[in-house]
């Protein structure tokens, strides 16, 4: 059976609507049988239009920085060659694919078909209905370190999304299985925290604070105003 090739991908843009707005950054990394290979694609793109302040605030990419970067026409073929015929893994795929297809259409290249796209936002919503399922929220849920993500960035977000995707399909152990035929789609929960069923405690834990420590705590609470959120509902001090 042939290896499964997937490309975890993200874009940054000047706004929300293709045509009016353009792509300014593409980042992607390659997975083979759900394992990163180290191959990446990263490209900044001159959108030939001003950068709105609200977009710059999200990704930090300035108009001046993009001034000497290639336009999409100059990098389109390299991007197409990198993704090849692999499956694309994208968070909120409708957004990225509509921008990519607009750019590809402008240079007379075939559009990306949605039947070759996995949307991790849909996967997360199915697994965690009603929960926050942004990339940041999923990183917190799966305890993936996103401290470097001060602003959005296409390649960094792709790297984080690759970790999230692995967790959504069953966790890291899937990448080390010798049977690749069983890893072509989502699996059951991996049992990692915090998804494991909550454990119940048979009896309360004993209070370990000394009387002096409790008194010091109450004194500290008194410095926080009349109604700190952690006071008991009847406004009695914590004891």
pLDDT (tens digit, 9 = 90+) per residue, 179-212?
Answer: 333 333 333 333 333 443 433 444 444 445 556 6
Q: Work out the average pLDDT over 69-90.
A: 98
The answer on pLDDT for 233 being more than 50 is no
- Tell whether 166 and 214 lie within a shared domain: no
Distance, CA of 6 to CA of 184 (rounded, Å): 11
Same-domain pairing of 153 and 92: yes
Is pLDDT above 90 for 100? Answer: yes
Q: In what order do the strands lie in the sheet with 117-119?
A: 35-44, 23-32, 5-13, 87-90, 117-119
125 and 74 share one domain: yes
Which of helix, strand or coil describes residue 52? coil
Q: Which helix (H) or strand (E) holds 41?
A: strand 35-44
Identify the domain containing residue 233 by its residue range.
200-239
Which entry of 34, 59, 91, 152 is annotated as an active-site residue? Answer: 152
User: Which pair of structure tokens corresponds to residue 222?
Assistant: 């008194």
Residue 229 has pLDDT above 90, yes or no: no
Q: In this structure, what CATH number is given to the domain that contains residue 84? A: 3.30.420.10
Active site annotation includes 152: yes
Residue 219 sits at φ, ψ, to 5 deg, of -65, -40
Beta-carbon-side half-sphere exposure of residue 168 (alpha carbons within 13 Å): 27
Residue 188 is assigned to a structural domain of this protein: no
Domain total for the chain? 2
Instruction: Give domain status of residue 148, yes or no.
Output: yes
Higher pLDDT, 194 or 155: 155
| Run of H or E including 77 | helix 72-83
Q: What average pLDDT does range 143-154 have in this prediction?
A: 81
165 and 220 belong to one structural domain: no
- The C-alpha torsion from 42 through 48 and 51 to 55, rounded to 10°, is -50
Task: Please tell me the predicted confidence (pLDDT) of residue 2.
Answer: 84
Instruction: Supply the pLDDT for residue 171.
Output: 80
Shared domain for 176 and 207, answered yes or no, is no
pLDDT for 217 equals: 59
């Amino acid at each position: 059976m042939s290896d499964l090739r997937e490309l975890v991908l993200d874009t940054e843009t000047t706004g929300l609507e293709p045509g009016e707005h353009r792509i300014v950054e593409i980042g992607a990394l390659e997975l083979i049988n759900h394992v990163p290979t180290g191959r990446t694609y990263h490209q900044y793109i001159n959108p030939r239009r001003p950068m709105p302040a609200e977009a710059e605030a999200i990704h930090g990419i300035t108009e001046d920085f993009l001034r000497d970067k290639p336009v999409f026409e100059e990098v389109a073929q390299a991007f197409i060659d990198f993704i090849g015929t692999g499956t694309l893994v994208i968070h909120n795929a409708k957004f990225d694919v509509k921008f990519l297809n607009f750019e590809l259409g402008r240079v007379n290249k075939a559009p990306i078909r949605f039947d070759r796209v996995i949307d991790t936002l849909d996967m997360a919503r199915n697994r965690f209905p009603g929960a926050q399922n942004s990339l940041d929220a999923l990183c917190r849920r799966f305890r993936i370190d996103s401290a470097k993500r001060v602003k959005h960035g296409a390649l960094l977000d792709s790297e984080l999304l690759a970790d999230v995707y692995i967790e959504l399909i069953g966790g890291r152990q899937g990448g080390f299985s010798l049977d690749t035929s069983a890893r072509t789609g989502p699996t059951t929960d991996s049992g990692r925290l915090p998804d494991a069923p909550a454990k119940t405690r048979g009896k309360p834990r004993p209070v370990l604070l000394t009387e002096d420590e409790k008194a010091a705590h109450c004194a500290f609470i008194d410095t926080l105003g009349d109604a700190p959120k952690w006071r008991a509902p009847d406004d009695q001090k914590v004891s």
